[in-house]
Each structure stands twice: as C-alpha cells, then as structure tokens.
Amino acid sequence: MQIINTSELLKKALDFEFLTIEEGVHLYHHASTPDLMFVANELRKIKKHNQQEVTWIIDRNLNTTNVCIANCKFCNFFRRPGHEESYITTIEEYKEKIEETIRYGGEQLLLQGGHHPDLGLAYYVDLFQSLKNLYPNLKLHSLGPPEIAHIAKLEKASHTEVLTALKAAGLDSLPGAGAEILNDRVRRLISKGKCTGREWLDVMRAAHQLDITTSATMMFGHVETIHERFEHLAWIREVQSEKPAHAKGFLAFIAWPFQDDGTLLKRIRGVKNTISGDEYIRMTALSRIMLPNVKNIQASWLTVGKEVAQICLHAGANDFGSIMIEENVVSAAGAPHRFTSNGIQEAIREAGFVPQLRTQQYEFRDLPAQMEQQVISY
C-alpha cells in the first residue's frame, strides 16, 4: 500500500494539479485546518490575480411553483399536486416582485420550482418570453438539471432540445441546483424522485456545449460518506475539463451543509446537521483545492452565518453570493441568516476585502445610483 505524504499533496495542490479522490480524502482526514486554508488562499490569489475584491450579487430567488413530485426528504418547501397550499406564480406576481427587485438594485431572477407534473416545455418557454418582453434587461438564472431532466421526460425530448428551446426563450444561465451528492446511493435515500447523478452531469455537459453558463453545488452533512463528497467534486471537475474551449462552463461552485429543521430526513431517519464551522471552512478550502479548473468558490453565508463565511474568504472562497431578496426553499429547513446590500458589503469589508457587485457572468458592475435598501421582514 502506497504511503501518502500530506506535505507532498499540498505542494501538488499548489501547482493546480488534479488530486485523486483518495488524495482528497487523505487531506480531509490528515491536513490541518491552517494548512488547508493557506493552500486554498494561495490558489485563490493566483486564480483571481491577487485581487482583493470579493464579489456579490443582488437577485431574488423566486419560485415558479411549489408543486413537486420528487419527494426529497430534506425539503419542507414542496407541496403535492392538489394540496390546498399549492400554487403557480402568476405574471402579475412576477411583475410586482421583479419591479421590487429592480428598486433594490437587482437585475436577475434565480427562478426555480418543483417538478410539476403538468408544466412542460411550452409553459417555461412562454414564461421566459413573457418576462423578457416585459423586462428586456432582466437576467434569468433559472431552473436546474433536475428540472431540465423532468421537462425532457415529460416531452420525450433530449436535454439539448429542451435547453436549446429555453435558451432561445431567454434563459441566460443554468444554476447548479439539485446536485446534493451525485452518488446514486445517496440520491436513492434523500431524493429518489430526482434525476440520477449521471443525468445531472449530462445536463450540464449539454448546457456547456450550447455555451450556457452554469454553476455547481453540493449539499453535504447528511447520509453521504467522505469518499462520496470527494467523488462528487471529482465528477464536477471532470465535466468542467470536458467543456468546449469557448464555453465558461461551471463559473462557480457553492457548497452548503444540510439544513435539518423539520425535514423528513431528521424526523424519520434521525439525520441531523452536525457540520461545525471548522468542517465547513475545511470543505470550502478542499473545494478550492479539488476544483482548480473552477474560477469562483462561494461561501454560503445563508446556511453558516456571517462569521464562518468571512473566514471562508481566507480559505479559498472569493464570492459571497446574493443578498437573496427572497429565498424560500433552504430557509424552510431552518437557514436563518439574512443580508441587505449594505450588510453584505460591510461583512466583506470586516473580513479585509473590497466588496464588488457583479453579474451572474462574474463581470463587475457599478452599484445603481438610485436604489432602495431592503427592509428585512421575514
């Protein structure tokens, strides 16, 4: 059996080499938190040309519908078809929320929903076209691989056909939603009604071929093994390495710990969120180390809070994500943290960096001259 040298692995990481799954697991178990933070921070500085800006965005997580037949065991948001609390968002509701988002300085909707059994491709094409006609400058960072797979299944169409139609209708970029852990042993236990891990990756491959920018995610700290976490990272890295040269592919990676409040996973299986601040910082650093071909690593302040997220900016993360004018899914499982535009900028400054507003393409944008400050009331 080959003996793995921790110091040699860290040097290998500093050269932006791809570490194997086994090497990543070794670092998880044997490297100190300061060493992981140092290496990840050096990689961030090299990857981002030593810039001191930490990026953030103003957008709104708006849900098309809460009707879903995927039955994920970690989701408190969904309602079954016919439930008295089920809904489909109307155009008038979109208009009201988009106009409020614009007043707050936002230019984008993160538009997602459930696997509604009756909403096929025509519905989303019509919705996207309607929103773009009403708000030509609005960016739609919308749906995710499980929803694309669901629509493709309803339409008996390929992923490429669905994505091509959605892009023509106004889809600007595809979030990395629904990745959870990509190993199918885990998916059978927590999200049996969603697409397989392979299909999630194949949707992203198709998106990259169409030059649709994407992101990648990981929800960890539930039923997965450590090996399955690093397998997940290696698979994302592999898909990124396959993208066409002209495509951006995965522009960012975001990991967050499972939020357990009131979930079936907690109530029925007794699975609890035991991820400490230290472990989240370590996984952020290891994400930067394992994903040398992904430019941006985001810290999930929504789930871990301001202080831990600030430390992550010294552990490989370079992005603070969105102020999330509205967020209903993760919050429904207990994520309690909130930021205004002023608050997120102050948090970045406190961590020793310069806050920089961005677009979904990670291009810098100026703060709008006239923008209201959100009043947090939820």
Domain CATH number, residue 265: 3.20.20.70
Give a yes or no: residue 61 inside a domain.
yes
Q: What is the band of 334 on the pLDDT scale with cuts at 50, 70, 90?
A: very low
- Tally of CB atoms within 10 A around 86: 16
pLDDT the model gives residue 328: 58
Question: Within a domain: residue 237?
Answer: yes
* Listed ranges 26-35, 42-51, 272-281, 319-328; the one with the highest mean pLDDT: 26-35
Residue 158 lies in a domain: yes
pLDDT at 268 over 90: no
Looking at every residue in the chain, the average pLDDT score rounds to 92
**For the ranges 70-74, 176-180, 210-214, which has the lowest average pLDDT?**
70-74
DSSP string of 228-294, one letter each residue: HHHHHHHHHHHHHHHS-TT---EEEEEEEEPP-TT-HHHHHH-------HHHHHHHHHHHHHH-TT-
The confidence score (pLDDT) of residue 97 equals 93
* Average pLDDT rounded to a whole number, residues 249-253: 98
> How many other C-beta atoms are found inside a 10 Å radius of the C-beta of residue 197?
22
Q: Would you state the pLDDT for residue 74?
A: 73
pLDDT above 70 (res 91): yes
pLDDT of residue 337: 65
Examine residue 368 and state whether it is found in any structural domain, yes or no. no
Residue 372 belongs to a domain: no
Q: Cα separation of 302 and 52, whole Å?
A: 22
Per the structure, the complete domain to which residue 317 belongs is given by 6-357
Q: What pTM was computed for the model?
A: 0.94
Please state the rounded mean pLDDT for residues 203-211: 98
Are 288 and 233 in contact by the 8 Å Cβ rule? The answer is no
Q: Find the mean pLDDT for residues 130-142.
A: 97
DSSP states of 64-94: SB-B-SS--TT-SS-B-TT-TT--B--HHHH
The answer to whether 183 and 142 are in contact (CB under 8 A) is: no
The residue-averaged pLDDT of 27-43 equals: 98
44: in domain: yes
- Say if residue 333's pLDDT is above 50: no
Q: How far apart are CA 213 and CA 211, in angstroms?
A: 6
Residue 156 has pLDDT above 90, yes or no: yes
CA 343 to chain centre: 21
Residue 186 lies in a domain: yes
* Count of domains observed in the chain: 1
Q: Does the residue 301 lie in any domain? A: yes
Calpha distance 62→142 (Å, rounded):
9
CB atoms within 10 A of CB 12: 16
The whole-number average pLDDT for the span 297-303 is: 93
User: Which comes out higher in pLDDT, residue 70 or 278?
Assistant: 278
